[in-house]
Structure 1
Amino acid sequence: MESKNHLRGVQLFELGRFQEAITYLSEAVAESVYNYPSKYYLALSYFNVSDYTKSSQIIDELLSETPNEGNLFFLKAQIASRLDKLQDAIALVNKSIELDPYQADYFGFKGALLMDKKKFEEALYFVNEGLQLDPKNAACLNIRARLLTKLNRKEEANQTVEHILFDNAEDDYAHANVGWVSLENGDTKKALHHFKQALQLNPNMQYAREGMATAIKSKNVLYKWYLQYAFWMSKQSSRNQWIFIIGLYVAYRLGVKVLEASDLTFLVIPLIIVYLVFVLGGWIMESLSNTILLGDSYGKYLLTDNEKYSGYAFGGLTLAGIVGVILFFALHNPLYMLWGFTCFCALLPLPGSFLRNSKNGRMIGLFYGITMLCVGFLGMLFTTDIMLVGGIVLGMMVIYTWVFNFIS
């Protein structure tokens, strides 16, 4: 006869009340230390409250008792993925497939991991293998739609989307995923519809909230252009991204030289502006759009706390920069121009630091931006050469664009 604590724990788990489930399942495990089902659900509960250390400990105990359970390696693979240990996650899900090659979810998860590594064709192969086992597997169908979109096979992607919605009309994740696919295909109206559906089904779904915010931002023509560029860049390998960036810089330098040699110097300034907008747009566009959403009566509720901080930082620095430039022309004091210039340069590291995924990345970006502001505002205490201070600030900005992301 099954333990009452186990039955109650499983019931709470299925209701999504994981913290409460942990209490009952822990009691069930204490009643019988060799209780596999209770231990497994306890590991799942800890996983769902992001306590990966305790979840891993329980899984390792279970593996010492039953070393050939594919679902245990699958859960370990998901933990490794959450901890950004991509290679470990792939090795673990491979073990799951080796032990139990008839679970479509394993193949779908491997496809998702390979998609993160931008191995789209290989990922599609494994997702299709999963669909051979279960043609209606929601995870495989959702990942397949995203992969086909990234491979520019839009007609097949649309067919897969229709398949997803036909079988999962009340699935919040399916609607959110269709929204992202539509957004990547440039259909903002359709994306908004499906994000709205997802949030009606699950108001707390972060994946859908982020999608809704992005879709609202994309109503702005400039941001929509940036978003399509970002989607395109996300399909490229890291190597190809660097080749493109360096190639763009070389083309810009050659363009300037050709224009100067052809007595078309009046076109040099517009070329420089276009180049800076193109290159630096990616650094500031998210923060700029967050600032815009802060002024939207509905959009501001879609922003996370970090996105709000990013928007406030961008808006504050922009306003301070404009004030500095106005004061320079009004009072003819170059110090105000230096301060305004410093604020504009700090737009790259400071607002974007709040949007970084890792805590270390946020702290480094924040420290770098504050240091840049200190140099610009306090530098004249150590030298009388205002051009030197401005040059240091500019150099810090250039170093940030070329080095910081590569290191992080």
Structure 2
Amino acid sequence: MIESKNHQRGVQLFELGRYQEAISYLSTAISESIYNYGSKYYLALCFFNTEAYDKASKILDELLQETPNEGNIFFLKGQIAYRLNNAHHAMSLVDKSIELDPYEADFFGFKGALLMDQKKFEQALHFVNEGLQLDPKNTACLNLRARILTKLNRKEEAEETVEHILYDNAEDDYAHANVGWVALENGDTEKALHHFKQALQLNPNMQYAREGMATAIKSKNFLYKWYLKYAFWMSKQSSRNQWIFIIGIYVAYRVGIGILRASDLTFLVIPLVIVYLVFVLGGWIMESLSNTILLADSYGKYLLTNEEKYSGYTFGGLLLGGILGTIAFFVFGNPLFMLWGFTCFCALLPLPGSFLKTSKNVRIFGLFYGIAILCVGFFGIFFTSDIMLNGAIVLGMMVLYTWLFNFIS
């Protein structure tokens, strides 16, 4: 069948990334021939790239009624499911796409990505390698392979894959950004900065590279550098192992406290408590703290998204409020100032970090929970004059948040 001019123009605009304009031409092409598979599929891709997932899904469901054995349709539906945080459904859809078309490398790459998210790195590597057997130069599979090998601590193989990526894709912005992230995880900040810079020169609006550049700049900070090492290490662990590690640290902390008290070394108890709190709470506040630091950097602030800026400003404001409240307490001797300062410190856990959550429900929960802590701390005195009770409630809310957050997320 001869493709219409509207279809051809729509595809051209799609390939240029001008999705909204492409939608108009492709819609017209469909009206000219309602059974035009190509126009419908490209229209679904346009809606997918503009995050209009409901419209994309509706078109794909229509295509499935007309052509139920097309692997591409299940593949795109799987990508939509993944974007909507339904990884289980995405896996079943990509399995169907592989069943229908077992010779498409992108399908195997996508399954590898899903398995990597589940921390099943060996299985992920198996499927990515299968994809590369079908297409040795498949960019998605090569990039995933480098990341998976890094997670498996197979650094030499990861480096070889990285060289392969850049040899074939020297002008590919995503390839440079991905190499940057691999270098960053391997602790090579300078190499990471170089490749993030290359990616941004090729595509100034690439969010993946901007996030990488911001993270690399943050890693120059001593505390953030060690936090980043810890975060990368934890990201390699299964959920079960993560909980075992966290519980193990808590048990070691309690045993340490008991030994110090029994050995008349009680003067070391407070330092141990401080170290434990920094370790436990550092992961909750480090990203927001680093955003605050970047806001003060003449260049770094331009790398932050609006959400990261909100997080940085909120963290800075609460930290300042906590410090001022503590100073006011020692100057004026009024315990109310200490309560207000303590409340600001406790709100540092849920409030600034809420702006950084990708899940809408988790973001809203953190935002309102942080506001609730502030309301209890600042206005609780209108319901009870017991300042110690107010402080205890605020502290309890902060501790409870760490458990509720893990449950919700």
Q: Which residue of 2 aligns with 1:10?
A: 11
Whole-Å separation in 1 of the counterparts to 2:218 and 2:307:
17
The residue that corresponds to 1:253 in the other structure is: 254
Partner Cα separation in structure 2 for residue 308 and residue 325 of structure 1: 26
Deviation, structure 1 residue 2: 2.2
Match of 1:394 in 2: 395
Q: List gaps (5 residues or longer) in structure 1.
A: none
Corresponding residue for 1:360? 361
Superposed, which structure 2 residues align to 1:220-259 within 5 Å? 220-259=221-260
1:266 maps to a residue whose letter is F
Q: Distance in 1 between matches of 2:341 and 2:61?
A: 57
Number of the residue aligned with 1:337: 338
Partner Cα separation in structure 2 for residue 74 and residue 366 of structure 1: 35
Q: Which residue of 2 aligns with 1:218?
A: 219
Distance 1:401 1:361 in 2: 12
Unpaired stretches in structure 2, ≥5 consecutive residues: none
**Contact 2:196–2:212 under 8 Å retained in 1:** yes
SS of the equivalent of 2:144 reads helix
Per the TM alignment, residue 127 of structure 1 is displaced from its structure 2 partner at its CA by 0.4
Deviations 1:107-134 (A, max 9, x none): 1111001101111000000000111111
Contact 2:362–2:408 (CA<8 Å) still a contact in 1? no
Deviation of 1:87 (Å): 1.0
Q: Deviations over 1:223-280 (max 9, x none)?
A: 0100110111111111211121111111101100001101111111111111011000
**In 1, distance between residues paired with 2:367 and 2:92?**
36
Q: CA deviation at 1:406?
A: 2.1
Q: Where do 1:109-128 residues align within 5 Å?
A: 109-128=110-129
- Return the letter of the residue paired with 1:27: T
Q: CA deviation at 1:211?
A: 0.4
Distance 2:330 2:394 in 1: 21
Partner of 2:326: 325
**Alignment correspondent of 2:266:** 265
- CA shift for structure 1 position 302: 0.7
Partner of 1:37: 38
Q: Secondary structure at the match of 1:128?
A: helix
Distance, in Å, in 2 between the alignment partners of 1:359 and 1:94 is: 28
- Please provide the CA RMSD for this pair: 0.9
Q: Which residue of 1 aligns with 2:370?
A: 369
Where 1:356 maps in the other structure, the secondary structure is coil
Other-structure match for 1:178 = 179
| 1:402 CA drift (Å) | 2.4
AA partner of residue 298 (structure 1)? Y
Q: After TM superposition, where is structure 1 displaced by more than 6 Å over at least 4 residues in a row?
A: none
Residue 80 of structure 2 corresponds to residue 79 of structure 1: yes
SS at match of 1:169: coil
SS at match of 1:219: coil
**CA distance in structure 2 between the aligned counterparts of 1:49 and 1:384, rounded to whole angstroms:** 53
Q: Once the 2 structures are TM-superposed, how far is the Cα of residue 158 of structure 1 from its aligned partner?
A: 0.7
**Counterpart code for 2:161:** T
Aligned to 1:57: 58
Q: CA deviation at 1:360?
A: 1.7
What is the letter of the counterpart of residue 217 of structure 1?
K
Which residue in the other structure is 1:69 paired with? 70
Q: CA deviation at 1:136?
A: 1.1
Counterpart of 1:48?
49
* Shift in Å, 1:407: 2.4
Q: How many positions carry a matched residue from both structures?
A: 408
Q: Which residue identity does 1:106 align to in structure 2?
A: F
The alignment-based identity, stated in percent, is 80
1:178-207 Cα offsets, whole Å, 9 max, x none, are 000011111100000000000000000000
Q: Output the amino acid matched with 1:337.
A: M
